[in-house]
Amino acid sequence: MKQADVVVIGGSAAGIPAALTARRHYPEKSVILIRSEKQVLIPCGIPYIYGTVGAPDKNLIPDGGLQSNKVEIIVDEAKELKPSEKKVILASGESVSYDRLILATGSSPILLPIPGIEKKNVYAIRKDIPYLQTLLEALKTTKNLVILGGGFIGVEFADECKKNRDINVTVVEALEHCLQIAYGEGTCRCSLEVEDYLTKKGVTIITGASIEKIIGDESVTAVKLSNGKEIPADALIVSVGVSPNIGLAKEAGLAISNGAITVDTTMRTSDPNIFACGDCASKFSFFTGQPSAVRLASIATTEARIAGANLFEIKRKNPGVIGVFSTAMGNLTVAIAGMSESAAKKSGFDVVAGEAEASDRHPGGMPGESKMWVKLIFNKANGELVGGVVRGGPSAGELINGISACIQSRMNANDIATFQIGTHPAVTSSPIAYPLVNAAEMALKNMKG
């Protein structure tokens, strides 16, 4: 039987930083990481396997960081937990004992109960290299690809699958617009611009409809929609969300809530010696304290750094899920942090918004220039920032992280309007026109109005 002070089960976005954080905070402790995969995929990079990157083996997280920090890696499947014995049983029959255990078992893609879902050439987004390679091979002969789900993964697959392929791509989204879960109901500029970009690339977007039936004998040949239409399909990609992997925890008797492993703000489970983080762990909203279904690699890494630091001494607490999303297509980057205006209103907030737009270079003729649009959403009761939306070039992806920091720090409109910024003609908007600051100023004006 192997032995370690800390054992981590799972080697992806939560498992790796959990193990590294444990080593950094408790350098005298031994750490073992157990994972079933020989190689680990970058989760958010999976759509880019089918276009920009080109192959699953070019989308891998290297083991160098674990190895240089003396984290032992065991490639095997954890089959059973025995909390009373503080032991993990592996598929090989070997067991590993622990003093503290971190569960970072992740999630699996949801497959809806659609008639025909079991047919050949129907694919979910699994974090499995051979499986994703099979999809890559199938796309070589696919003429008609249908993607079910117009969230971030769905639209990224649509964009990437059109690259270097003569292929018809159709996105089917049940809501009124793509990306609506993140950006809210109504005509958000970001959702509309993404749909416009994809349409101009030749992607067909069908909203307000779902797939009722998958047609074909052994393989999919078409899909029937809820509006009665049939669409030809040689392949179908299903991207409608994920379900937490809780089998190990449930069988071991750990508490489960809302389909995930119950954790407190320290990431501790119902067993004081076991922590959980990432997609497998329960979540709550930063804004309302209510359960949250948002699961992202960025959230997983944050939770992992909390869990790893708290193993032998409570040092950190989870503030709750803010939810920060971004995607890029061509020269267009769209991003959101926190609540959309409609989501905030649904949660009972009286909100006021401010918008500003400016060139992200100054003067506007500088190389790489694009228009940066920022919308900030504030709680009218106390002036605190509860959400932000950015549309622009590549720098929008980092500006949204700054907005998330403002939200987590509970900054108000005055704080942001007097925010001390660093600017440079080649990389930022002008300090006079800086859209983050000016959006806050516009919100203050609207509050008075």
Neighbours of 149 (CB within 10 A): 26
CATH superfamily of 324-448: FAD/NAD(P)-binding domain (3.50.50.60)
CATH 3.40.50.1820 correct for 111-240: no
363 upstream amide cis, omega within 30 of 0: yes
Contact 6, 66 (CB under 8 A): no
Using CA atoms, how far apart are residues 129 and 243, in angstroms rounded to an integer?
20
Query: What gap in Å lies between CA 86 and CA 218, rounded to an integer?
Result: 46
Q: Which amino acid is at 172?
A: V
Per-residue pLDDT of the chain (449 residues; tens, 9 = 90+): 999 999 999 999 999 999 999 999 999 999 999 999 999 999 999 999 999 999 999 999 999 999 999 999 999 999 999 999 999 999 999 999 999 999 999 999 999 999 999 999 999 999 999 999 999 999 999 999 999 999 999 999 999 999 989 999 999 999 999 999 999 887 688 999 999 999 999 999 999 999 999 999 999 999 999 999 999 999 999 999 999 999 999 999 999 999 999 999 999 999 999 999 999 999 999 999 999 999 999 999 999 999 999 999 999 999 999 999 999 999 999 999 999 999 999 999 999 999 999 999 999 889 989 999 999 999 999 999 999 999 999 999 999 999 999 999 999 999 999 999 999 999 999 999 999 999 999 999 999 87
CATH fold label, 2-108+243-309 = FAD/NAD(P)-binding domain (3.50.50)
Start-end of CATH 3.50.50.60 domains in the chain? 2-108+243-309, 111-240, 324-448
Q: Tell which residue, 113, 282, 288, has the closest CA to residue 213.
A: 113
